[in-house]
């Protein structure tokens, strides 16, 4: 019984408790300076404020820097302006997310590529689960983001504090559909280790077979998993 409760917590409750939180309407209404400029995508204002000595990494009540706000708003011009004027591209907000993981969860491939171009590290440990942007994207089946993170050098076999790799999350937390199939294929073709088990010794292939995810099981099996 306890094992069932724990599984329910890991798969359902925990992700909701620690989900990313974009700026609320109230947050945005209270923004000024760089946070407001980042939200609105006003690159000229960002450069002007930076030149006048504004704190490029100032925090709002949730620990979001202007760079986080730009990522949540998908404002690429604002993010580039912040990076060019010296903002910390690897800052973590209160829920331990960086720009790259925010973009990965939002399924924003262009922002993902831009963040890495501007210095956001794809190997950064993020979230309360000690994961990575790649694990977050794989969990959600964001396969184009997964491909871009892999191309950018994201670690394929990082194990988070739940005991799961990106491949494991794509199977265990995925729905077995075409998006997660493409995600698994991208990870496997890039050389992800298909044999790393969870804490109970169950491999991604075994999880896929148990869930009836035949296409995913075939992809893993063909890779030698």
Does a structural domain hold residue 159? yes
Residue pair 80/43 in contact (Cβ under 8 Å)? The answer is: yes
pLDDT tens per residue, range 45-101: 999 999 999 999 999 999 999 999 999 999 999 999 999 999 999 999 999 999 999
State mean pLDDT over 134-151: 98
Name the token pair of 89: 């591209």
End-of-domain residue from the set 95, 129, 144: 95
Confidence at residue 224, expressed as pLDDT on a 0 to 100 scale: 81
Does a structural domain hold residue 4? no
Confidence at residue 219, expressed as pLDDT on a 0 to 100 scale: 98
Does a structural domain hold residue 175? yes
Q: Of 53, 52, 54, 153, which Cα lies nearest the Cα of 100? A: 153
Q: State the CATH number of the domain containing residue 170.
A: 1.25.40.20
| pLDDT surpasses 70 at 40 | yes
Domain count, the chain: 2
| pLDDT surpasses 70 at 131 | yes
131: β partners: 126
Q: Residue 175 and residue 181: Cα distance in Å, rounded? A: 9
Q: Residue 85 and residue 49: Cα distance in Å, rounded? A: 10
E strands in 67-202: none
Task: Give the CB-side neighbour count of residue 37, counting CA atoms within 13 A.
Answer: 23
Is the same domain home to 139 and 223?
yes
- Structural domain for 202, as ranges: 100-225
State mean pLDDT over 4-21: 51
| pLDDT surpasses 60 at 10 | no
Confidence at residue 194, expressed as pLDDT on a 0 to 100 scale: 98
Confidence at residue 16, expressed as pLDDT on a 0 to 100 scale: 40
Tell me what the pLDDT averaged over the chain comes to.
93
Does a structural domain hold residue 141? yes
Buried b (16+ CB within 10 A) or exposed e, 122-139: bebbbbebebbbbbbbbb
The pTM for the full model equals 0.92
Question: Which contacts of 57-60 are long-range, i.e. CB under 8 A and separated by 24 or more positions?
Answer: 57/87, 57/88, 57/91, 58/33, 58/34, 59/93, 60/23, 60/27, 60/30, 60/31, 60/35
Confidence at residue 21, expressed as pLDDT on a 0 to 100 scale: 93
Instruction: List Cα–Cα distances, 172 to 11, 16, 99, 180, 198, in angstroms.
Output: 8, 16, 25, 10, 10
Phi then psi dihedrals of residue 126, to 5 deg: -135, 160
Is the same domain home to 135 and 173?
yes
Is the same domain home to 25 and 105?
no
Is the same domain home to 145 and 224?
yes
Is the same domain home to 183 and 90?
no
Is the same domain home to 126 and 178?
yes
Confidence tier at 18 by pLDDT (50, 70, 90): low
End-of-domain residue from the set 95, 114, 144: 95
End-of-domain residue from the set 73, 95, 117: 95
C-beta neighbour count of 121 within 10 angstroms: 18
């Amino acid at each position: 019984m306890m094992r069932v409760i724990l599984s329910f917590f890991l798969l359902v409750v925990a992700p909701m408790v620690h989900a990313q939180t974009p700026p609320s309407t109230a947050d945005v209404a209270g923004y000024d300076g760089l946070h407001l400029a980042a939200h609105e995508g006003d690159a000229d204002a960002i450069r002007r404020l930076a030149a006048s000595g504004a704190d490029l990494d100032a925090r709002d009540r949730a620990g979001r820097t202007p760079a986080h706000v730009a990522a949540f708003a998908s404002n690429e011009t604002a993010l580039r302006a912040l990076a060019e004027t010296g903002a910390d591209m690897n800052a973590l907000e209160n829920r331990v997310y960086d720009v790259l993981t925010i973009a990965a969860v939002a399924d924003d491939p262009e922002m993902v590529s831009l963040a890495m171009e501007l210095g956001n590290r794809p190997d950064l440990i993020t979230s309360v689960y000690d994961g990575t942007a790649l694990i977050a994207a794989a969990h959600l089946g964001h396969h184009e983001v997964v491909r871009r993170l892999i191309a950018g050098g994201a670690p394929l076999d990082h194990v988070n504090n739940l005991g799961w790799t990106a491949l494991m999350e794509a199977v265990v937390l995925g729905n077995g559909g075409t998006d997660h199939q493409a995600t698994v294929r991208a990870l496997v073709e890039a050389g992800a280790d298909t044999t790393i088990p969870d804490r109970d010794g169950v491999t991604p292939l075994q999880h896929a077979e148990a869930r009836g995810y035949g296409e995913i099981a075939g992809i893993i099996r063909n890779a030698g998993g």
